[in-house]
Structure 1
Amino acid sequence: MATLLRGEVRAILQPAGLAQYQDAYCPPGVPFAEVRRGPFDGKADIAVRPDADGELPKVMTFGGGRVAYEYDGRDGQGRAVYRYAPRLSPSHRDVMNGVAEVYAEHALNKAKGGQ
């Protein structure tokens, strides 16, 4: 668990909610539920520092700015909740194309009688 400095707030990263994934890219053959998944979902050892006005950052990025999570309020434990934001994540299209390849390979194996 992250040690908090004065003024910092614990945060947790969660899958995208409707506001974040609506109209996000989803290739054919991939269930739309896959769009919700972010690479850092569940990470809870994060601390966020409010700005001078006391507001938390609206967006946090990871992976050199390639993955974005959007602020979505507080949970019951008082942690700041950040949800995966596929529309704001530059890597989202590439990741989803990779997911589509896995789904296509699985379908092909299943059609051939494999697993």
Structure 2
Amino acid sequence: MATLLRGEVRAILQPAGTAQYEGAYCPPNVPFREVRRGPFDGKADIVVRVGIDGEVPKLMTFGNGQVVYEYDGRDRQARAVYRYAPKLSSSHRDVMNGVAEVYAEHALNKAKGGQ
């Protein structure tokens, strides 16, 4: 584990909590639990820089701003916890439509007698 520089805090990315996913887009026939999943969930080798106000950034973006994680406090190890924010992520609708295709394909295969 690398040493932190002054003004840096370790961070971890987590699935969306209720505040982040409530009202987010979910296509028909896709379990709502899929909305919570972000593409970088579980990533823990991240460091954020504390601002001059002593606070960590409220948002963290990836993929040219298409994927957004929102600050949600600290965990027991004093890491900054960022949760996937589907309502703020411009790629969310496209990702969920892809998930819907996978679910539809699986349902079709199951109906045909395959697994």
Length-normalised TM-score, structure 1? 0.98
In the alignment, the residues of structure 2 paired with residue 2 and residue 75 of structure 1 have an alpha-carbon distance, to the nearest angstrom, of 19
The answer to whether the 8 Å contact 1:2/1:47 transfers is no
Q: Percentage identity across aligned positions? A: 84
In the alignment, the residues of structure 2 paired with residue 101 and residue 76 of structure 1 have an alpha-carbon distance, to the nearest angstrom, of 38
1:103 aligns to what SS in structure 2? helix
- 1:1-115 aligned at under 5 Å gives the runs 1-115=1-115
Deviations 1:11-59 (A, max 9, x none): 0000000000000000001000000000000000000011111111100
| Aligned length in residues | 115
The amino acid that maps onto 1:106 is H
Q: Give 1:97 shift.
A: 0.1
CA RMSD of aligned residues (A): 0.8
In the alignment, the residues of structure 1 paired with residue 94 and residue 3 of structure 2 have an alpha-carbon distance, to the nearest angstrom, of 34
The amino acid that maps onto 1:71 is Y
The amino acid that maps onto 2:56 is L
1:24 aligns to what SS in structure 2? coil
Q: Give 1:2 shift.
A: 4.5
The amino acid that maps onto 1:95 is V
**Unmatched tracts of structure 2, length 5 or more:** none
Distance 1:63 1:2, change over 3 A: farther
**Unmatched tracts of structure 1, length 5 or more:** none
Deviations 1:59-98 (A, max 9, x none): 0001111100000000000000000000000000000000
Q: Give 1:3 shift.
A: 3.8
Length-normalised TM-score, structure 2? 0.98
